[in-house]
Amino acid sequence: MKGNLLVISGPSGSGKSSLMKEILQEISDAYFSISSTTRAIREGEKDGVNYHFISKEEFENDIDAGFFLEWAKVHDNYYGTSLKPILKELHEGKLVICDIDVQGHKIAREKFGSVITSVFITTPDQKSLKERLINRGTDSAEVIEKRLANAVSEMTRIREYDYLLINDEFKTTLSELFAIACASRKKMALMDLGEFMSAWANIE
């Protein structure tokens, strides 16, 4: 059995970060791929925990060197997923969880194919998303409007995902995401079926 990728996407404010935090506590051999970004660090965030905060110049150099699984420019900032640690954890059979946007999901799907299981997480409606963004108090009104516009664009891509979760009630959504994470590790594409069938046929 090889490792596998669980790709999670969704609008900022959908609650996906809180959900992933719980999943990582429940699954002992899961690895969270920490993204790199050029945006400013927010109050309460830590470099190497929430993101790897790097300069625009460093990010663009890493793009040219091919060091990213995927990258995208969102709200005038770069976001990307480093490839090297992901390959290491997959080789060790880990469940690698990535928080990437719809652009990144498409690129990752092209590179890893059936190794990926993808989940799009969103709110019940646009109004509740706006309320969550306002209530968390980390963004200006202008940034919130940009995030809402981006969310509308992202919602047009949900058919590209394996699963859609509506995060209305946190515990219910967490239970659903945990079930998907567990099921993703049993996909036929991840198994050495030749070895299994040989062993099965020789049962005495």
CA distance 112 to 60: 23
Q: What is the mean pLDDT of the chain?
A: 89
Residues 173-178 have a mean pLDDT of 97
Cα four-point dihedral sign 83, 147, 103, 92: positive
- Two tokens at 2? 């090889």
Please give the residue that has the higher pLDDT: either 92 or 194. 92
Q: How do residues 152-169 score in pLDDT, each as one tens digit? A: 999 999 999 999 999 999
Q: Confirm or reject CATH 3.40.50.300 for domain 4-33+95-201, answering yes or no.
A: yes
- Two tokens at 162? 């394996």
For the ranges 104-113, 183-192, 194-203, the lowest mean pLDDT is seen at 194-203
Q: How do residues 52-94 score in pLDDT, each as one tens digit? A: 899 999 999 999 998 888 888 887 899 988 888 888 898 898 9
Q: How do residues 24-43 score in pLDDT, each as one tens digit? A: 999 999 999 988 999 999 88
**Cα 44 to Cα 47, 49, 138, distances in angstroms:** 10, 11, 10
For the ranges 8-12, 132-136, 137-141, 197-201, the lowest mean pLDDT is seen at 197-201
CA distance 145 to 107: 26
CA distance 121 to 112: 21
CA distance 128 to 122: 10
What's the whole-model pTM score?
Answer: 0.81
CA distance 47 to 49: 5
Burial class (CB in 10 A: 0-12, 13-18, 19+), 11: buried
